[in-house]
Amino acid sequence: MNHSNFKALLVYWRYWLHHRFAILFLLLCVAGSVPALASLSLAQEFEPPDRGLPGRREGGGTRGECLVQQPALTALMPNTNLGLTVAEHPSFFWYIPQNGAAAGEFVLLDQTNAEVYKTIVPVSQAGVVSVSLPADGSVPALEVGQSYRWYFSLICDPLDRSADVFTSGWIKRVEPSPSLTQKLAAATAEEQPKIYAEAGIWYEALSTLVQLRQAQPQNPALVSQWQTLLASVGLEQIADQPLQ
């Protein structure tokens, strides 16, 4: 091997070793930061129940004079169409686009298809709206272990309800486990959405986070948690929509 070839080989080995150590160092740094990054990105990750039920998470497009825009009318629920709650009188949420509907209507039915609750909802402004079951005694508490079906419709033509743009889904009340009860008792308000999400309790994971965001609308950490929670069930297109 002549001198020039030996020198070229030496330069190559120095280059290879330098990058080998640089890559090793980078991997060690990343490995050390993975727990923190994972904890942040999964802060509001939600795992829906395996069971799915028939439903309709998104309403249709334009219906006559309704002029429903995109994103479409969308129920904030897992794509299994079923969400769990531990509340006697939970809250439900939808994204309502700009529209020309006369009103919105929410109906809750029990397992026998008997009407539990019905109310009219203003839909003049686009954004995320909610309906809470009244806790004043006028509506019975949801029963533990029972599944209820709900419908939310944009009434495009009061004289022709077949023109409604609607969504539908299910809610089931479950008894909180002792572990969940203990964690919630020791948690701050900011920690509760994560605890509910980890337990698969969709409606309270959502409602507690909405309450925090309404109280602190400029808090970037809460905005990030909201985006992560909705993205975990495929609703990232709704994450930047305003809360009403």
The secondary structure element, H or E, covering residue 48 is: none
Inter-residue contact 155 to 171 (CB < 8 Å): no
Residue type, 141: A
Q: If you average pLDDT over residues 153-168, what whole number do you get?
A: 91
Cis peptide before 242 (omega within 30 of 0): no
Q: What is the pLDDT of residues 32-48, one digit of tens each?
A: 433 333 333 334 566 66
Q: If you average pLDDT over residues 204-211, what whole number do you get?
A: 97
> Rounded to an integer, what distance in angstroms lies between the CA atom of residue 145 and that of residue 89?
14
The full set of domain ranges for the chain reads 64-238
State yes or no: pLDDT of 8 exceeds 90.
no
Tokens at 199, concatenated: 């337990």
Q: If you average pLDDT over residues 211-215, what whole number do you get?
A: 96
Q: If you average pLDDT over residues 67-78, what whole number do you get?
A: 88
**In 86-181, which ranges are E strands?**
91-96, 103-109, 115-121, 127-132, 147-155, 165-173
> Rounded to an integer, what distance in angstroms lies between the CA atom of residue 243 and that of residue 219?
14
Fold of 64-238: Immunoglobulin-like (2.60.40)
Tokens at 103, concatenated: 């009103």
Give the mean pLDDT of the chain: 82
Highest-pLDDT range among 49-58, 68-77, 189-198: 189-198
